[in-house]
Chains A and B, each alone.
Chain A
Amino acid sequence: MSLSARVTWRSFQAGALRMFLPGLASFPFGIGFGVAAAQKGLSAFETTLMSVTVMAGTSQMVALDLWAQPLPLFALAVSVFAANLRYFVMGAALQPYLPHLPWYLQPPVWYVTVDQNWAVNIEEYRRGKGDLGKFLGGGFMMGCIWPGSCLLGHLAAGGLLSDPGIAKRLGLDFVGVAVFVVVATLLFRGKRDLAPWAVAIVAALASKWAMQGNWYIVIGGLAGGLYGAWRDVRKS
């Protein structure tokens, strides 16, 4: 089912507001990234600019590992692309709901395709609800919280905020995973999802065991999706 590409202020606002809590998932990570960027010698402006323009925490953290003068531009590009491959799968899953999206709205949609925003909105889209305004509004909120937390981390490097123990005691390090768990619960369609999800879980655990990084999301997602498709097509 395709959605309207019309964006109203009201839906944008609603999308932004409801993403506040899920957006906090990125707060402890952002603080951690800001501290790490400060230690690598990036200025507060550069740290914030990177977070605004890249807006993908894991790949930014991966890039910091490579950050040494002279900067290896090709290696940076490849590692950022690879670390963000899960967004390739997420974008692919999103496209059927927005098949007639005008070209000028496509880059903003790609830009705001980030974990929590995608998860919350795709759940609604599958139920035939939601709209583009909520997706863009949610992305706007994420685009404020993520760079804001990175900047805070940079400014507070070595101070109170850089203590990951505080966020941990409050359970904030779980917010990101909690979004996945809660949205998966909402998406669950009963018996027909059991086998594909089991395949995804086994593939994700096996790939995490076999290799570093967050490839497990891509591999698990593809394995579960491919199995589910193979089973459905065979049945019909």
Chain B
Amino acid sequence: MSANPENLIAIFVMALAAMAAKGGGFVAMRWLGRHRFVSAMLQHAPGAVLASAAVVPLVQMGGAFIAGAVAGVVVTRLVGGLTGGLFAAVGAVALARWAGLP
């Protein structure tokens, strides 16, 4: 187990920066959340964040990822839970790769 003091300071600074980003939105909403527009925005933000987070890798990777996403959506709609959809999505990607999709 070895640790360089300069590296430890850098890691500490990084941890503080990460916590500032994570906690910043939470703290800011204590005041901003009272506004009607902001609370309406927060109703839409989770779905918009997830759609944004998913679409770029899907477009970039294509092929197997698209097959996985379709399987995930279909099984989630049919079964209604997280686990089934996840297994279907990951299994579809493995199958698609086995079938030669990139």
A residues sitting closer than 8 Å to B (CB atoms) are: 18, 21-22, 42-46, 49-50, 53-56, 59-60, 63, 67, 69-71, 73, 76-78, 80-81, 84-96, 99, 106-107, 109-111, 113, 115, 119-120, 122-123, 126, 168-175, 177-189, 193, 196-197, 199-201, 203-205, 208, 216-217, 219-230, 232-233
A174 and B93 within 8 A (CB)? yes
Q: Which residues of B contact A204 (CB under 8 A)?
A: 51-53, 55-56
What's the dominant secondary structure at chain B's contact region? Answer: helix
Q: What is the 8 Å Cβ interface bit string for chain B, positions 69-100, against chain A (1 contact, 0 not)? A: 10011001100101101110111111001100
- Between A and B, 25 residue pairs with Cβ closer than 8 Å are A18-B82, A21-B83, A43-B4, A45-B3, A59-B17, A71-B6, A71-B10, A81-B17, A119-B46, A173-B93, A174-B68, A175-B86, A177-B54, A181-B69, A182-B89, A186-B80, A208-B56, A220-B48, A220-B55, A221-B45, A223-B48, A224-B45, A228-B40, A229-B40, A233-B37
Residue from the list B4, B12, B52, B72 in contact with A203, Cβ < 8 A: B52
Bound complex: CA A126 to CA B73 (Å): 19
Smallest distance from the beta carbon of A135 to chain B beta carbons, Å?
12
Main SS at interface, chain A:
helix
Cα distance A115–B38 in the bound complex, in angstroms: 22
Known: A59-B14, A63-B14, A229-B41. A184 touches B3 (CB 8 A): no
Choose from B12, B17, B69, B97 the contact partner of A84 (Cβ within 8 Å).
B17
Task: Indicate if the CB atoms of B50 and A87 lie closer than 8 Å.
Answer: no
Q: Tell me which residues across on chain A come within 8 A of B87, comparing CB atoms.
A: 21
**Contacting pair A224 B51 (CB below 8 A):** yes
Q: Which residues of B contact A (CB under 8 A)?
A: 1-4, 6-30, 32-33, 36-60, 64-65, 68-69, 72-73, 76-77, 80, 82-83, 85-87, 89-94, 97-98
